[in-house]
Structure 1
Amino acid sequence: MLSNSNSSALFDLTGRTALVTGAARGLGYCYAQGLAQAGASIVLNDVRDGLLAESVAKLTAGGHCARGAAFDVTDEDAVAAAFAALDADGVEVDIVINNAGIQFRKPMVDLALADWQRVIDTNLTSAFVVAREAARRMIARGRGGKIINIGSLTSEGARATVAPYTAAKGGIKMLTRAMSAEWARFNIQSNAIGPGYILTDMNTALIDDEKFDAWVKSSNPSGRWGRPEELIGVAVFLSSAASDYINGQIVYVDGGWLAVL
């Protein structure tokens, strides 16, 4: 049986460096803050330079080790250049949280291919590209690592008007399994988090819709929306030694939504 001190050490991220994409605000910043509080050094990514600088400043003001990396996750060359810059600075990424994502709501019959592609590139393809660059370095170092992709309830089921998002998040589920199939032998654990309906800026339109808000609360066993901070525990868990034999899984944080009909 583990002592209390050893049990705590399982979740200690001291000495680890985590890259969190889309981290200037919202859930990305929440993940970054949670991992920083667990001891990790953080590389926050976003394309919004000003907001990114503010978020880095907030973490460092709180006594955490943090730096920004402003690049577009949908630009393969920019991703490669960002990792090369981290290499040059001696920054070794042990943990990746592929959080960057966008939503676009429109019926499929009215959906332009460019809008479909933009959502797929941001929510799915970027996770592959960022994880690939990280995994190449993790494999070369021989110390393993953690890849955490961000899925959704739409990794399991569909809703009208969000077809590209649904396709991307379903893809995240299988991409995570593919990563596990190839990288587990290098001691890289690839898993995903599937948030339910969370009180975030991305969901503002839904939160403000009285009918939708009532539906969320009435159809979820927990009777409420989730809070961003309620995702921190699973993010720290999947980033830590506590999850070293968990691979290719998606952990849903949804208040019990998928457990009921």
Structure 2
Amino acid sequence: MRGLDGKGVLIVGGTSGIGLATARRFLEEASRVFVAGNDEAELKETRATLGELGTIDGLVGDVSVEGDVEAIVRGATAFLSRIDVLINNAGVAHKAPFLETRTEAWDRTIAVNLRGMFLAARAVGRLMAADGAGGAIVNMASTNALGGEELYAAYNASKGGVLQLTRTMALELGSAGIRVNCLCPGFIDTPLNRGLEDEAWIQAYEREHIPLGRRGHADEVAAAYAFLASEEASFIHGAALVIDGGQTAVM
């Protein structure tokens, strides 16, 4: 896609699932990539698997910890020289009835999905604004930001927060040449989602709720990340791009 060749891309949550597919996609677009993950073995495997495609490195850290995020941003800046694109992809999900949701599970979900996104976007946004060269930030929301889903109170709340955070960032950062958007995927085939639901449930859900009749794939979300970061999306700002096979079109 136009405008990604040579760009410095930081992917927070970039060592598995959608994040890993996104790292691969940006390398295929000839971008330089720095990934952050929470597992040293996954990071090592990511480097080994994707290293032949281009320039990639990374760090392990907890995105909900401000010091870890600052270290990740410093490491990315040192490796890339400049962060042109931030892909804010880290996330967790907790499944439980609302009345049985543990406080610690609520806190962890909000900490990773919303606080972590805020910390990374603020740190990178400050750098982008300071040098005046602008950039692109793409946050990971969800179709759960657009409508509720039972058993996922913490996740729904966190993703609703991401949607509003994205809109606020867009209002404030546009004048600095920083485009801010978010993705709202539906059911995507990832290790996280496979760990929450069994295959029989997933297949029934595909038939009953997704007009295209199938789950999405990580590389389809990665393509959307690349599009919103590219010059092809130069007038797209403050948007929530839905990637759900038609799921939210169903009444």
- Any unmatched runs of 5+ in structure 1? 1-9
Equivalent of residue 14 in structure 2, options 23, 27, 32: 23
The equivalent residue for 2:145 is 155
Deviation at 1:236, TM superposition (A): 1.1
Q: Is the 8 A contact 2:58 2:76 kept in 1?
A: no
Deviation at 1:231, TM superposition (A): 1.4
Could you tell me which amino acid in structure 1 is paired with residue 216 of structure 2? G
The equivalent residue for 1:41 is 32
Summarize deviations over 1:17-68 as a string: whole Å, max 9, x none: 1111111111110111111111110001101011101101211123x11001
Q: State how far apart, in whole Å, the 2-side matches of 1:84 and 1:163 are.
A: 34
The equivalent residue for 1:253 is 243
Structure 1 residues 205 and 46: CA distance shift in structure 2, 3 A:
closer
Alignment of 1:102-251 (within 5 A): 102-205=92-195, 208-251=198-241
Could you tell me which amino acid in structure 2 is paired with residue 185 of structure 1? S
Alignment of 1:49-68 (within 5 A): 49-62=40-53, 64-68=54-58
Q: State how far apart, in whole Å, the 1-side matches of 2:109 and 2:247 are.
A: 25
Q: Is the 8 A contact 1:206 1:213 kept in 2?
A: no
Could you tell me which amino acid in structure 2 is paired with residue 48 of structure 1? D
Q: State how far apart, in whole Å, the 2-side matches of 1:231 and 1:82 are.
A: 23
RMSD: 1.5
Q: State how far apart, in whole Å, the 2-side matches of 1:155 and 1:47 are.
A: 24
Q: State how far apart, in whole Å, the 1-side matches of 2:22 and 2:76 are.
A: 20
Structure 1 residues 108 and 57: CA distance shift in structure 2, 3 A:
same
Q: State how far apart, in whole Å, the 2-side matches of 1:130 and 1:103 are.
A: 19
Summarize deviations over 1:66-118 as a string: whole Å, max 9, x none: 00121111100111122234445563111111110001111111112211010
- Percent identity, aligned pairs only, is 31
Q: State how far apart, in whole Å, the 2-side matches of 1:221 and 1:196 are.
A: 12
Structure 1 residues 86 and 214: CA distance shift in structure 2, 3 A:
closer
Q: TM-score, normalised by structure 1?
A: 0.92
Q: State how far apart, in whole Å, the 2-side matches of 1:27 and 1:259 are.
A: 23
Equivalent of residue 5 in structure 2, options 14, 23, 26: 14
Deviation at 1:156, TM superposition (A): 0.5
